[in-house]
Amino acid sequence: MSGRVPSLVIPYIEQMFHLFELGVVPLPVWGYTINMIQTGPLETAPDLKQRIKQLLRLVELSVTLNSTLNLEELLQFIIQTAAEVLDCEAASILLYDEKRVRLFFAAATGSDPRKLAEMPVPIEGSIAGTIFRTNRALILNDVQKDPRHYPLVSKQVGFQPRSLLGVPMRIRERVTGVLEALNKRQGVFTEADERILSVVASHAAVAIHNARLVQALQQAYDEVSEADKMKSNFLTLASHELRTPLGIIIGYATFLQEESQGELSEHAEHVLNAALRMRSIVDAMANMTLLKAEGLTFRLQNVPIQRILESACEEIPKLAEAKNQEVTLTLPPRSLVVNVDIEKTTLAFVNVLNNAARFSPEGGKITVGAEQQGQEVFVWVQDKGVGIPPDQLEKIFQEFYQVEPPSTRRHGGLGIGLTIARGLIEAQGGQIWAESEGLGKGATFKVLLPAAEDQ
């Protein structure tokens, strides 16, 4: 280039700036354009030089907004950029409060965000409210003479505006707030300033919207975590407090059943059975808290799956006998050795079997089988009970979930047995799932466990 900027470059820059406003110019194009212009002396075109500096700042703004999700940092960066790029004393962001139908200060140069948030700005009768309602930019180079000037904010923050440029912050056609630049240091606000601030506002609106969504998501996650923690604490406390009185009830009921005769013995048996059912619920609550506890350890051993399944079946005779149900083991004669924690795996199958017995009818049949499948041992528990709808096959493993509505439930339990079973099985590298052809057609629970390496 010679000593002046070619006349063709300026229209090109104007065209590229317009495309940037529309958000269709990629960053590499801007880098190429700016580098091309800066190869020649720009001193003879000060306006163009200032425009390029502004464009560089807008590119930096775009990059930062796309990589920042912290709302407070985002707001401060936006107002700092707006003040710098327009060479003014201050900038502020007002966002719309849908619940209270008003604007509020989200950020302002040199002010405490918490104090600002306490100062509402009305939609009617204020400069920011006018910009918000009309969805149009506004330039005021003598703010004090405008009747819409809202002096309360000026008194609170100790800042007197002389000139103001405000633009709406939009996401598509929806106005979400107002971005203001205050007190131009040299000269007055122009339409070129309006275009630049509109670009900042467009990018800022999207970035603030995304940051608020992330903030709301994090808050919801924290609330869920706190609720889950309270639930776990309640289960731990309840199971602990109920154990002692239940132990006393079971002890005296057993003594009365053994020592008494006739009707009194039958009454004692009913008390004992009720207490035993309650203890199974307490045990389930304790197992649930154990499963959620950090540092849950597993002592893996090589053990035949036959031994685990036989032990699990011995744990449910009362429930099965009460409903005259038959539990059949169809196990191969050859030992199928798995590498698992014996106690916890037995507990998992006890919960699966309890579920099968609870949802099987009077006189129903429950079949338990196992076979070798490559490097894994496959186990199934099949019942001819109420069945499971196809869309519920995964949900039944959720905490406290049951297919039946709570108000019309015919079957007992807390709905956490299968949750415990899945947690214990998967923690050892296994899998568990349910299969059913639908309501009234029974269900089959299938389990895969890692086989012992030396098998």
pLDDT by residue for the chain (455 residues), tens only, comes to 444 434 444 444 455 555 544 544 444 444 434 443 344 444 444 565 566 666 666 666 666 666 667 888 888 888 888 888 888 998 989 999 888 888 988 888 876 666 666 677 888 888 999 999 999 999 998 888 888 887 766 676 667 889 999 999 998 888 999 999 999 998 899 998 898 898 888 888 888 888 888 888 888 888 887 877 777 777 777 777 787 888 888 888 888 878 887 778 888 888 887 787 777 777 777 767 767 665 578 899 999 999 999 999 887 766 667 677 888 899 998 999 999 999 999 999 998 998 888 888 888 899 999 999 989 999 999 998 888 999 889 998 987 776 655 544 455 556 788 988 998 999 899 999 999 988 888 899 999 999 987 65
pLDDT of residue 385: 86
DSSP letter (8 states) at residue 169: E
Same domain, 230 and 359: no
φ, ψ for residue 186, nearest 5 deg: -130, 130
Alpha helices for 158-190 (secondary structure H)? none
CA 407 to chain CA mean position, Å: 29
Give yes or no: residues 332 and 428 share one domain.
yes
Mark whether 386 and 249 lie in a shared domain. no
pTM over 0.85: no
- Strands 301-304 and 102-108, by their bridges, are unpaired
Cβ–Cβ < 8 Å for 44, 183: no
Assess whether 287 and 308 both reside in one domain.
Answer: no
395 and 262 within one domain:
no
User: Reduced to 3 states, what is the DSSP secondary structure of residue 374?
Assistant: coil
Question: H or E element: which one contains 103?
Answer: strand 102-108
Q: Is residue 110 part of a domain?
A: no
Taking the C-alpha atoms of residue 413 and residue 142, their distance in angstroms, rounded to an integer, is: 74
Task: Verify that 328 and 395 share a domain, yes or no.
Answer: yes
- End residue of a domain, out of 292, 321, 348: 292
Please report whether residue 429 resides in a domain.
yes
* Ranges of H-type helices in 375-440: 417-426
- Buried b vs exposed e over 28-52: b needs ≥16 C-beta within 10 Å? eebeebbeebeebebeebeebbebb
12 in any annotated domain: no
Q: Which domain holds residue 262?
A: 223-292
Q: Tell me whether residue 35 is in a domain.
A: no
Tokens of residue 213, six digits: 């969504």
Pair 336, 446 in one domain: yes
User: How many helices and strands in the chain, by DSSP H and E?
Assistant: 13, 13
Where is the domain boundary, 273, 292, 311? 292
Q: What pLDDT is stored for residue 300 in this prediction?
A: 92
Residue 434 domain flag: yes
**Rounded to 5 degrees, what angle do the CA atoms 417, 387, 446 make?**
55
The predicted pLDDT at position 377 comes to 95
Q: Of 292, 314, 338, which residue sits at a domain end?
A: 292
Query: Can you give the CATH number for the domain in which 358 is found?
Result: 3.30.565.10
pLDDT score of 32: 37
Cβ-based burial of 159 (10 A; exposed 0-12, middle 13-18, buried ≥19): middle
Residues 386 and 431 in one domain: yes
Residue 339 bridge partners (DSSP): 302
Look-up of token digits 């005021």: 140
Same domain, 322 and 440: yes
Q: Is 263 helix (H, G, I), strand (E, B) or coil?
A: helix
260 and 331 belong to one structural domain? no
* Residues 261 and 278 placed together within one structural domain of the fold: yes
Same domain, 279 and 392: no
Q: Is residue 17 part of a domain?
A: no
In a domain, 374, yes or no: yes
Domains identified in the chain, total number? 2
Residue 286 in any domain: the answer is yes
